[in-house]
Structure 1
Amino acid sequence: MRHRKHRNQLGVKKEHREALLANLSTALIQRGRIKTTLKKAKALRPFVEKVITLAKKGSLHDRRIAISRVRDVDVVHELFEEKVEQFKDRNGGYTRIYKIGTRRGDAAEMALIELIDADDEGYGKKNKPKAKKAEKPAAEEAAPEAEASAEEAPAAEAEAPAAEETKKEEEAK
């Protein structure tokens, strides 16, 4: 059965997709940031992150698996020897995708995908200022609100007959 086997297929055959991801990952590892379509960037993210995880393990077997996927020995060597130090303390999330609008020719959604720096902490939660708690208990606060709403109701009823009288006067004229 093929349940849950769907990935970003990019509209191409398996061999073409593997070659495309190998070339994109080579460019990303060499340059640190590349511009591509959003679909390709989303397909590239898990591919590259798995290769970086192999580099973090660092064994010969992992290096050979990385070479078979990336297909460029020099880039894999650079990743395993130099760039892996950036990611030693990080548990995943080695890439970030920024949407940058649409391409002029065919209106394809474009994106920047980049490797995250070692000292990047990411987006933290924004601290909302806490509301000041009232010093009065909740029961005392509810009573004045009820009184205020009771005072507003007769005033609204008094305005309604006055509005009807003005309408009648305008019709009479």
Structure 2
Amino acid sequence: MAGRIILLTGPPGAGKTTAAPLLCANAPGPLAVHLHTDDFYRAIKKGWLAPWTPESHPQNLVVVAAMVGAAATYAKGGYEVVADGIVTDWVKQAFVEAARAAELVLDFVVLIPDRATAAARARDRTDDPVADYAPYAALYDQFAAEDVRHRLDSGRLTPPALAERVREGIEAGRFRLAG
């Protein structure tokens, strides 16, 4: 039986990487995997380019193809896949196309706390802290403008409560993009 892919996105400090393992733990079936999309970029040990630069586009195409391929392979094997990271429109579209081609369920969840909470969480995290959130303002605004059906306020929820709310939305079909 095929699994599903859950794209968990939002600005830095939204709670994606904190919620993802909890979503795996509360998956309804016996199989779940967390794909942290940053790891696909960190795997490049020679020739890495900052993915937000124009010259990184060829690299980004390869990295996204690897992410999508890994997620689809796990999902086709029956795993629920929680892929967390910064998912822009073209990346989302690559996941949609792969899910449709493989007849997989795909959910798209945008975690969006208020900007001050996101900035404080990003600053205070132990891995890759963000001292200055100002460069992420436009990215924050992009996520805040996503379709309300896919947005979830993650600002005042504990991580377990957040995972529970995401799971409730998934089960209700609120976040579905494909399948």
Q: What is the TM-score of this pair, normalised by structure 1?
A: 0.28
1 or 2, which has the higher helix percentage?
1
Q: Which has the higher contact order (CA 8 A, sep 6+)?
A: 2
1 or 2, which has the higher strand percentage?
2
User: Greater CA radius of gyration, 1 or 2?
Assistant: 1
